[in-house]
Amino acid sequence: MPLYEYACQKCDHDFEVLVFAGEAVECPKCKASDVQRRLSVPARPRTAEASLSSGCDPNLPPCGPACRRFTG
């Protein structure tokens, strides 16, 4: 049961859906079957080593959107 990301070619709606073997995918917004599967990149698992207390330098700018100090 993989989770895939799709984009509807009719209404430009982006969505995720669990796809079972042989199952047809349709847009949940407009019910069109003209959808394109997008490349999904899995998220990197969070570990204790990546936390703020294990080496994040408060004198440097935030390291990215996942940084606990990110305000933007």
Q: Map out the domains of the chain as residue ranges.
A: 1-38
Chain segment 16-60, per-residue pLDDT in tens? 998 888 899 999 999 999 999 998 777 776 665 555 444 567 777
Whether residue 67 has pLDDT greater than 60: yes
Which pLDDT score is estimated for 37?
Answer: 92
Tokens representing residue 2 in the block: 């993989």
CB atoms within 10 A of CB 8: 21
Taking the C-alpha atoms of residue 34 and residue 16, their distance in angstroms, rounded to an integer, is 15
pTM: 0.54
Whether residue 6 has pLDDT greater than 80: yes
Taking the C-alpha atoms of residue 41 and residue 32, their distance in angstroms, rounded to an integer, is 25
